[in-house]
Structure 1
Amino acid sequence: MTIDIDIFECRGGDILACDIVNKDGVKLVSRGTTLNDYIIEKLKQFEINNVKVIYPPEYIKKNRYNYEKFEYGYKKSIQLVKDIVNDLSTGKALNIDKVTSATELIYEHIHQNDICMLLNFLDRIKVTDEYTYLHSINVAFYCMLLAKWIDLSEYEIKKAVQAGLLHDIGKSRIPTSILNKPAKLTNEEFEIIKKHPVYGYDILSESEFSDLDIKRAVLLHHERINCSGYPFGISGEKIGLLARIVSIADVYDAMTSNRVYKKKVTPFTTFEMFITEGYSGFDAYLTTEFINHMATYLIGSSVKLDNGENGKIVYIPPNNLLCPIVYSNGEYIDMKKSNIRIIEMI
């Protein structure tokens, strides 16, 4: 439910139901943003009199229950993915029932009120050491969100979830000594890794899994629209929508996760990669939708700054996602005007 309220009745925690624009049509705050005192005061300064907010009164009461339910479902999904990978590693067929069960567990959390909690949980869970399994689950969640944000149907969103879950299934045929190597791969080892999309496609084709779109997404999720990807070096529309969705979710989670050979970076570093070089390799429309929506859920996040202090993100300008406003030690730091930078999400 959405309600239209006076700006002076807004309170921290209200969630915007619509974009807020100024008199010139410039976006000030994006739909889905959780309001705080800083944003509310800025809206007053811009003479914004009324805003539409999402208002489910029962949400605050159920928040703890929702978190525990999500954590339970997430852990159950991890176990299902482990079972699937272990079965494949021992020569068993793909268990489609387990894929379906994991898909349904993930899809349960598509609703607006769960997204902020979901993303916070995904960021925290990345400190664990089960990257291979967690990555598949996380990519499935990011695929679900991106598919939702571009208004795909429930049927297509669930396909995106399955594509995310299965995108790296071919790695079950890659030696663990290569997958878990705590150093940069040799050229020969990387050539072996690059076979996993084909292996994944083969695994799905050898099973009773019949959805061609998902199989193509598994096969093509490392392709890039500028022909720089693998295994075929194809471009543009030939890659297919699901594969283009998975490619963005895959790279975002990989960059913002600790891996055996590389430390994670902040979401802002990942945004910068997408904005400065990513548009040549990734679908521009999908990338823009993804980072614009993701940014709204970073507001309120605690961060570590390169001056040794901690702070909290209070605002991210929609027209400059790389320069948030951070509250630290009693002052607001505008990253556009300051040399201080965020080095870690905490």
Structure 2
Amino acid sequence: MAAPQGRVKHTAIVRLCLHASHALGFQKTYNLPLFIIFAGAMVGFVLARFQYLDIANNFSKNSAPGEWYWHRQGHYRIGITLHLATCLPAGFLMVWQFVPVIRHKFLLFHRINGYIVIILLLLSNVGGLMIVRRTFGGSVATQSATGTLAILVSCGLAMAWWNIKCLQIDQHRKWMLRTMFYCGAIVTTRFILALSALSLTAIGSYFAVKSCDELRFMISEKKIAERYPTCLVPFNQSSIGAAGYAVVKADYNAGKESIAAALNLSFGTAVWLAIFLHLVGIEIYIHLTPAESSRLRQISYEKQIEAGMSNPGSAGLTADRFGDAPKYRT
């Protein structure tokens, strides 16, 4: 009896996925879907923002309200230019480091591309730290979260580099996976940021402080007079404690300044939550794939013996010794 048409189509799709998975060098059935989801999210995010490399035209017009006020000049402009010019190419190039067929058949490309990614990400961290004081309001939460993410990425890269120099491939894999997921936190941040801004809008009782100069950059003088009369008081005659500033309601559905307030209040929280999710998520994945770690540990052991290393199988930053169990060949 002939198989149902739907089942035939289903089988054809499965065969196509298996063929694509094997062509790319993936050994497990779950590798390709995970690669498509996470690497695809990174590539899609990067490609959507390549237009921002035109700082004066595209970034100035399409960035969050108020961002261009700070980033249009001085070291902030240098920082945002450096950050975008390095993190976007790095995000596109890093995903190819996780394609097995490239690692196996194009090892030279894998090595050169890896060094390029490391350099770009480190420069990206420098640019990000240059602008963090004003990015999305530059709150203490934003600065601490951004600094933590930069430390995580930098330390992850250092760990991965040192372990591969010591031929400890299993640890190199783990630290490169961690680093990629740390970088991916910025993608998750955007989703959390939007949800958080909408939540603050729905609650309706959140406010942010904005300088009058920044407000004038975003909205007209007429709207300033209508919404923020304190900005009309001369600086030296102001009776309020924070002269030259106004309180802006966080409202994602209102004017530019209110959207900016909602995003500024949400950004630090969004980054922290994204970091937490990615930290936990990648550790779960690593602990669910012990077989791959064991396989690479064995390969590391053999390569380190060939290289004449004194502690084969336990070089690099491996915490535990390789041991003398019979399953390991000498």
Same fold (TM over 0.5): no
Rg comparison, structure with higher value: 2
TM norm structure 1: 0.29
TM norm structure 2: 0.30
If each structure's strand is expressed as a fraction of its own residues, which one has the higher value? 1
